[in-house]
Structure formats: C-alpha cells, structure tokens
Amino acid sequence: MTTGPYCAPLADAVAARVLLAAAMLPVADLEASQVELLGAWSSGELVGVIGLECHGRDALLRSLAVCAERRGQGIGTRLVGALEARARGAGVERLWLLTETAASFFAARGYRRVDRAAAPAALAASREFAALCPATATCMARTLTPLRA
C-alpha cells in the first residue's frame, strides 16, 4: 500500500497561508476571491497547497506551493492533477495561470504560454490578474478534456 502524500479539500486556510507566504505567493485575496484550496498531506502534515478560482467555464489555477524540504517528490504534480480533476467536475473547460517562477514546470504538464490579453474578462478582472501578479508574469492556459458522459 502506498503511504505517499494524498490530496483533499482544505477547509482551514491558516496553514495554507503559511506555506504560500513562505513561497512568496499572494495571500491577500484568498477569502475575498473565493478560492477553493486543496492540500497535500504526508504523515498528518500539510506539505503542499493549490487553489482553484472559478469564473464560469474558465478558472484560475493559483496558489501552488510545496514546502521547501518536500519538493522534487511529485507533490506539486499530484496537486495539479487533483486540481484539474476538481475543475473538470465543476464544469471548467479551460484553466489559466500566471507564474513568475514555474513556467517550465507547467509547460511540462500541458500548459501553453498565451497572451495575457486573451484571458476572458472575468479572469482579467480577478485580483490575481488585475492587481497581485506583475505584468511581467507569464500567462499560461490548458484546455481540459471533458469528462466522459
């Protein structure tokens, strides 16, 4: 039986904030932007977090961080997979993200660079797009394959 980290919804944002702040990612708008957080746990300890911010059929993948001493063990990849499954279940067709630090990580996982101006209006108006991520951040997107009927 595998005892590796598992992913599940995270109700308490306090521990997530600690992880995100340590990775220097924005936490100011977590509640206001109605971000659904997923956590990765190992031996009862929160070791990673990722956030889904839905805007209709488009959604923002954001707030991905793995604690420094557990990086390189597949936890980030597992969190992205868990978030994509969650998004598909919620009817999301396209995931978007902004990153200053991990463009090649996402490129290796099916995300393609896109012009930030191509983002739909609701996403462009989100605080992450409009205020929190610098204009120099790389914008990426991935179309999700739909769930089979």
Binding residues vs ligand COA (CB under 6 A): 23, 25, 64-66, 71-77, 97, 99, 101-102, 104-105
**Beta carbon of residue 22, minimum distance to ligand COA (angstroms, whole number):** 9
Cβ distance to ligand COA smaller for residue 115 or 149: 115
The SS3 assignment for 129 reads: helix
Q: Phi and psi at residue 53, in whole multiples of 5°? A: -120, 105
Which residue minimizes CB distance to ligand COA? Answer: 76
**Beta carbon of residue 108, minimum distance to ligand COA (angstroms, whole number):** 6
Cβ distance to ligand COA smaller for residue 25 or 119: 25
Cβ distance to ligand COA smaller for residue 68 or 147: 68
**Beta carbon of residue 149, minimum distance to ligand COA (angstroms, whole number):** 31
Cβ distance to ligand COA smaller for residue 57 or 105: 105
Question: DSSP of 87-123, one letter per residue?
Answer: HHHTT--EEEEEESS-HHHHHTTT-EE--GGGS-HHH
**Beta carbon of residue 33, minimum distance to ligand COA (angstroms, whole number):** 15
Measured CA to CA, the distance from residue 103 to residue 13 in angstroms comes to 25
Closest CA to 108 of 62, 136, 77, 85: 77
Cβ distance to ligand COA smaller for residue 42 or 73: 73
**Beta carbon of residue 56, minimum distance to ligand COA (angstroms, whole number):** 22
